[in-house]
Structure 1
Amino acid sequence: MKPGHPASLMRRRLLLSSAAATAAAATGTASLLAPRLARAAATYPERPITFICPWPVGGTADQSMRALCQVAAGLLKQSIVLENRAGASGMIGTKALARANPDGYTIGQIPISVTRFSQLGMLQLDPRTELTYLARTSGQTFGIAVPAASRFRSLADVIAEARADPGRITYAHAGIGGATHVGMEQFALAAGVKFNAVAYKGGSQALQDVLASQVDLLADSSSWAPHVEAGKLRLLATWGEQRTPRFKDTPTLRELGYNVVVEAPNGIGAPKGLPPEIEKKLRDAFRDAVASAEFKAVAARLDAPVMYLDGPDYRKYVAEVYSQETQLIQRLKLKDMLAQS
């Protein structure tokens, strides 16, 4: 059939009319949805918000997030209900957060270890592009502690025995591939020793077994702090850039000659696709919550230095850490370690 044939012209007109009708329908649908979305953002939040904490109840991250959510709830004039979904070094809760409806009614803590686990195949998403970042909040003070009756009086004692009997000394950590596990393995590599790692679902259970002298060492954020002050545990070293003011007599790993610094700051996020107006409300609320006297008091008690970043800067930070983790995974042979476990 020739292009100028009447039937051909008729068919072309029909196709053009159909395309125009489809475009008009799409425009009409968008114009109908826009006011609805605007109204939803204007009245948000109309019901309680669920906050997924990927760690067990009672740990330092759980306490920090509860304090933060309490202040943010007052600012948003709506309750925030904490839901603990622990396991897989924080990734069970992170997966649940990523799969939630992006309507602002499910938010949660995003462990910075998402940058590691996504590359290790334990988290099937790209944290650089598939999450909404609201705020980086505070860091953590990690350290190595032992029971008060332990044979180890100092970190030098630990190193001496580890060199004499590789793999004998056990340490408890909060999950394979997490900050406490990777931090200890970085330390072991720097010291030229080998430990026997014992994995738990979170720091609180690891703490209990060390207190009961079931495991030699505890590698954790400051869950050990009140027990050190009570004389039940002895703190051998911390992992920060500088000594923590609360335990100023305890040296850092770097001071002791091991170039290892671990801070693993906490952050808050939401599923990808959060409406911009709702994202702004949440960013504003958590910015003010982090700056509040109430949260700072809890952070100080937990030895959690405030390390606030707004959402866009937090996203850039995640991308930077992602690149650093690529090198760390190779250096520590983490994929092999996971395969063996």
Structure 2
Amino acid sequence: MPVTRRHALGLGAAALGTPALAQRNFPDKPIRMLVPWAPGGTTDVQMRAFCEAAGKRLGQPVVVENKAGAGGILGAQALLNERPDGYTLSQMPISVFRMPFMSQRPLFDPLADFTYVTHLTGYLFGVVVRADAPWADFPAFLADAKANPGRFNYGTPGVGTSLHITMEQIAGQRDVQWVHVPFRGVAENMQALLGGQIHATADSSGWGPLVEDGRLRLLVTWGPERAKRFPRVPTLKEHGIDLVSTSPYGVAGPKGMDPATLRILDAAFQGAVADPAHMAVLDKFDMPAMPMGPEAYTAFVRRTVEDESAMIRRMGLRL
């Protein structure tokens, strides 16, 4: 599914919306926000704080509805069947921009099938093991995995997620063979790790409290610099692995949203990103605020789709 001029033009049309009758009193009822991850994880906690702040600015509740599974694409998939009236939106993880290029029969076109509203933030990712694991640092884990091909496994939130793809990129750079075990969310992932069913977990910073409590050991983080909460833990780049993975994301709606509705939502969402209660959650999880309006976010999506599709072709990834 190559990126073509038709796709790029479709993305622009989706962002601007098609002519529609203006909704004079939008919103006049609650807004559904699809979160394609399990309750209790980093994204769920962040999105709930964001939605509460957004609801105060819109004068209507923004209600989170979890749709976990399938690597984070179920929210986007659901938008295909929703009216473009602004009352159903979804968090859009980067897996939405990858999955169509990994599938023989794509379910949607990320460049033409959605209206991109507001970009929000990105993650702190890292690899954790149990506190009693034999690996004191990431090089030790890599060395053991390289010496024992296929013996060690790791959990992630799903196939095709940034966690899965980055772990395979690490394996490719270091000639490691390990086994991927996908889970539906952070709760299942952490339970399997603590219970000894998997050796390591690659996930967003929902593991932070368990690391701080001494139950897990954080081996490495994947950001451009060390995390504020874990300044002693090196990044991948410090270990000579030339990768940075933060998986930025935002909020989108169905294609063809009315521009007036889009402006109302974006104004409220930009304010919600900067809301002190929401910023406190971002700080708790070491997540940077990365607000972008519809035009900048749409341009970002276009670049991301081009980069991700090229990476998938290069790695030969298929579902």
Q: Kindly name which structure, 1 or 2, has the bigger radius of gyration based on alpha carbons.
A: 1
Q: Where do 5+ consecutive residues of structure 2 fail to align?
A: 1-18
Deviation for aligned residue 1:307: 1.4
| Map of 1:131 onto structure 2 | 114
**Match of 2:292, SS?**
strand
Deviation for aligned residue 1:330: 2.3
Aligned with residue 106 of structure 1, among 88, 110, 123 = 88
> Superposition pairs for residues 187-202 of structure 1, below 5 Å?
187-202=170-185
Please tell me the residue identity of whatever aligns with 1:328. M
Distance 2:106 2:141 in 1: 34
Aligned with residue 248 of structure 1, among 221, 225, 231 = 231
| Map of 1:59 onto structure 2 | 41
Residue 309 (1) aligns with residue 292 (2): yes
Deviation for aligned residue 1:196: 0.8
| Map of 2:280 onto structure 1 | 297
Distance 1:256 1:57 in 2: 33
| Map of 1:16 onto structure 2 | none
Distance 1:309 1:60 in 2: 21
Distance 2:28 2:133 in 1: 54
Deviation for aligned residue 1:331: 2.8
| Map of 2:261 onto structure 1 | 278
| Map of 1:96 onto structure 2 | 78
Please tell me the residue identity of whatever aligns with 1:112. I
Name the stretch that deviates more: 206-215 or 51-60: 206-215
Tell me if structure 1 keeps the 8 A contact 2:146–2:176: yes
Deviation for aligned residue 1:59: 0.7
| Map of 1:37 onto structure 2 | 21
> Superposition pairs for residues 151-300 of structure 1, below 5 Å?
151-300=134-283
Name the stretch that deviates more: 89-98 or 144-153: 89-98
Please tell me the residue identity of whatever aligns with 1:329. I
Tell me if structure 1 keeps the 8 A contact 2:94–2:161: no
**Match of 2:283, SS?**
helix
Deviation for aligned residue 1:201: 1.4
Distance 1:293 1:250 in 2: 28
Which 4+ runs in 1 deviate beyond 6 A? none
Deviation for aligned residue 1:149: 0.7
User: Deviation per CA, 1:199-244, whole angstroms, max 9, x where unpaired?
Assistant: 1112221122112221100100101111000000000000011111
Tell me if structure 2 keeps the 8 A contact 1:112–1:267: no
Tell me if structure 2 keeps the 8 A contact 1:140–1:221: yes
**Match of 1:270, SS?**
strand
Distance 2:258 2:172 in 1: 45
Tell me if structure 2 keeps the 8 A contact 1:102–1:273: yes
Aligned with residue 51 of structure 2, among 32, 52, 69 = 69
**Match of 1:255, SS?**
helix
Please tell me the residue identity of whatever aligns with 1:279. L
TM-score, structure 2 as length reference: 0.91
Residue 79 (1) aligns with residue 46 (2): no
Distance 1:180 1:213 in 2: 20
**Match of 1:57, SS?**
coil
Name the stretch that deviates more: 74-83 or 110-119: 110-119
Tell me: higher relative CO, structure 1 or 2? Use CA pairs within 8 A at least 6 residues apart.
Answer: 2
TM-score, structure 1 as length reference: 0.85
Equivalenced residues, count: 300
Distance 2:263 2:47 in 1: 19
**Match of 1:247, SS?**
coil
Identity of aligned residues (%): 39
Please tell me the residue identity of whatever aligns with 1:132. T
**Whose helix proportion is higher, 1 or 2?**
1
Tell me if structure 2 keeps the 8 A contact 1:95–1:123: no
